[in-house]
Amino acid sequence: MSLPRLMHDDESSSSRKEAALAPSATITQVRELLRHQLRQLEQPGGAACMAPLMIWGAPGVGKSTVIRELCAQEGIGFIDIRLSQREPVDLRGLPVPHGDQVRWLLSSEWPRDPNSRGILLFDELTSADRMLQVAAYEMILDRRLGDLYQVPPGWLICAAGNRREDRAVSQPLSSALANRFCHLELKVDLPGWIAWAQQRELHPMVIAFLKYRPHCFLDMSGSIERGWPSPRSWERVAHVLTRSDGLDAISLELLVHGLVGTAAATEFLAFMRLHQELPDLDAMLLGEIPFDLPERMDLRHAVATGLAQHLWSGPVEQRELRLTHFLRAGLTFGSDFAVMSMVAALKHIEQEDPQGDKARALFSHPLYTHWTEHHGAALVTHDALPAASAAPHQRRRR
C-alpha cells in the first residue's frame, strides 16, 4: 500500500513515486513506536524534539483502536479529538468579555494535571477542512495555545486519518502541517488481528473463516456505500454471533450482509453451514470420539484445517494428548489428508508461535518421527508448506 498523496491532483509523477515508497507498519509495530515515544517523554526536553506520529490507513483497520487500547494497557489517559466534528472555537476557546479585557474559556477536555500522562489523538485529521487544520497547527506544532494553555509534558500528541484512495472524506494536509509529522501507514495485518481477536475471545467462527479466506479480511473493491469487509466490521460480526441467542437464521444472515456486504457475507454464511456438518473436532483430539473422515472433499478439507486450529486450543496441559490423536489420525489416513492438516498446523506455528513452544512440542513428540516416515516426502513437496517449517522434515530425510 502507498501513503496518501499530500498534494493536489496536478502533482508530479516523481511525487507519486516518492509517496509509494512511504513506510508501512503493522499494528504491533505502531504500538511499539508509541510506547517508545511515551518513554522518550520522560526524558528532559523529550516532548519538544519529538515528531508526532501521523497514522494513515483505510477506514476500519484499527488506527484509533490501537492507541486507545495501548492507553488502557499502560494505565494512562486517552483523549480523542475528532476535528471533523469541531469548530475552530472548540480548540482555541471561547472569548468572554471581562471588563475592558477578554478572557478565554478553554475546553475542559484538555489535560490540566502537569504530572498526568496520556495520548492526545487528533483523529480523522484528513476529514477536517483547512480552517480546522489551521486551528490545530499550534497545538500540534508547539503543544500550546498561545499563552492560554500548555500541553503537560507527559502527554503524547499523534494523529490519524484516511487516505485519498480510500474513497472516504479526505482533505490534503497543508505542507506546514504534513512536514511536522512522522508519517506511517497502518498495514492490514491478518495474523496480528487474529492474535488480537483470540486474546479478546471473539467468536471462533469469524477467526476460522478469515484464516480460510484471508482475502475477505479487507476488501474495498466493491461498493463501500453500504457494508463492506474490514477488521472493524468482522469484529462486529463476531459480536453478533456471540449474542445471537433467540435470533432466527434469516435475521442473522441479514445482519451479516449488512455488516460486511453481499460477497463476503455469502462466503462466510456458506462457511458457517459447512462447519455445522462437521464432527466435534475438539472431542476427536481429546480421544472422546473416534476419527471419522467425511466422504465429501469440501468437508474433508474443513476437517483437516479445523483439526489444525483446534490442535493448539485448550489448556497447555492437553497439548500432548491433542498432538497424540492428531498424529495418529495422520498415520491412519492417507497422505492427502495428513499433509493438508500438517501444513495448516505448521502455518499456525509460523504465524503465531514466536517463542517456538508449539514447534518444540510437535517436533519432539514420539509419533512425529513415525508421521514423517509415512508422509515426510509428500510434505516437503507440498506447494503450501511454509518455508521456515520445511527444515525439520528435510533434516530427517538426510
Q: In terms of domains, do 127 and 255 share one?
A: no
| In-domain check, residue 7 | no
Q: What is the pLDDT of residue 209?
A: 87
Average of per-residue pLDDT across 251-276: 91
- Domain check: are 297 and 260 in the same one? no
Span 303-328, mean pLDDT?
A: 87
pLDDT of residue 365: 94
pLDDT band at 60 (very low <50, low <70, confident <90, very high): confident
Output the pLDDT for position 21.
43
Check which CATH number belongs to the domain holding 91 and give it: 3.40.50.300
**pLDDT exceeds 50 at position 398:** no
- Domain limit, last residue, from 261, 277, 293: 277
pLDDT of residue 274: 82
Residues 32 and 180 in one domain: yes
What's the pLDDT score for residue 257?
A: 94
Query: What is the total count of domains within the chain?
Result: 3
Arithmetic mean of pLDDT, 311-335: 89
Q: Are residues 94 and 126 in the same domain?
A: yes
Given a cut of 50, whether residue 394 has pLDDT beyond it is: no
222 lies in the same domain as 341: no
Q: Is residue 205 part of a domain?
A: yes
Give yes or no: residues 203 and 56 share one domain: no
Which residue, 151, 170, 187, sits at the end of a domain? 187
Q: How confident is the model at residue 327 (pLDDT cuts 50, 70, 90)?
A: very high
What's the rounded Cα separation, in Å, for the pair 90 and 107? 7
Residue at 1 is within a domain? no
**167 or 85, which is more confident:** 85
- Is the per-residue pLDDT at 397 higher than 50? no
Query: Are residue 182 and residue 111 in the same domain, yes or no?
Result: yes
In a domain, 6, yes or no: no
User: What value does the mean pLDDT take over residues 350-358?
Assistant: 79
What would the mean pLDDT of 382-398 be, rounded to a whole number? 46
Q: Is residue 10 a part of any domain in this protein?
A: no
Q: Which residue range forms the structural domain that includes residue 121?
A: 20-187
141-169: average pLDDT: 83
Flag whether pLDDT at 20 surpasses 50: no
Q: Which of 105-119, 157-171, 377-391 has the highest mean predicted lDDT (pLDDT)?
A: 105-119
- Residue 320 domain-assigned (yes or no): yes
Lowest mean pLDDT among 37-41, 110-114, 129-133: 129-133
Look at residues 247, 277, 307 and tell me which one is the last residue of a structural domain.
277
Quick one: pLDDT at residue 225? 64
Indicate whether 41 and 182 sit together in one domain. yes
**Residue 13 pLDDT more than 60?**
no
pLDDT at res. 125: 87
Q: Based on the fold, state whether residues 259 and 323 are members of the same structural domain.
A: no
**pLDDT given at position 300:** 81
- Residues pairing with 183 in the sheet: 54
166 and 84 within one domain: yes
For residues 258 and 320, state if they share a domain.
no
The pLDDT score that the predictor gives to residue 251 is: 95
Q: Assess if residue 73 is contained within a domain.
A: yes
95 domain-assigned: yes
Mean of the per-residue pLDDT values of the chain: 81
Q: Which residues pair with 94 in a beta bridge?
A: 105
* pLDDT band per the 50, 70, 90 thresholds, residue 22: low
Looking at per-residue pLDDT, the higher value among 386 and 242 belongs to 242
Which stretch of 14-23, 241-250, 264-273 has the lowest confidence by average pLDDT?
Answer: 14-23
Lowest mean pLDDT: which of 9-23, 105-119, 212-226?
9-23
Inform me whether the pLDDT recorded for 334 exceeds 80: yes
User: 187-239 pLDDT, tens per residue?
Assistant: 888 888 888 888 888 888 898 888 778 888 988 776 666 788 999 999 999 99
pLDDT at position 224 is: 60
pTM of the full predicted structure?
0.63
In a shared domain, residues 285 and 151: no
- In this prediction, residue 67 carries a pLDDT of 94
Residue 166: what pLDDT?
A: 61
- Which pLDDT belongs to residue 223? 63
Q: What is the pLDDT of residues 158-188, one digit of tens each?
A: 999 887 766 656 677 878 888 889 999 888 8
Which has more pLDDT, 146 or 95? Answer: 146
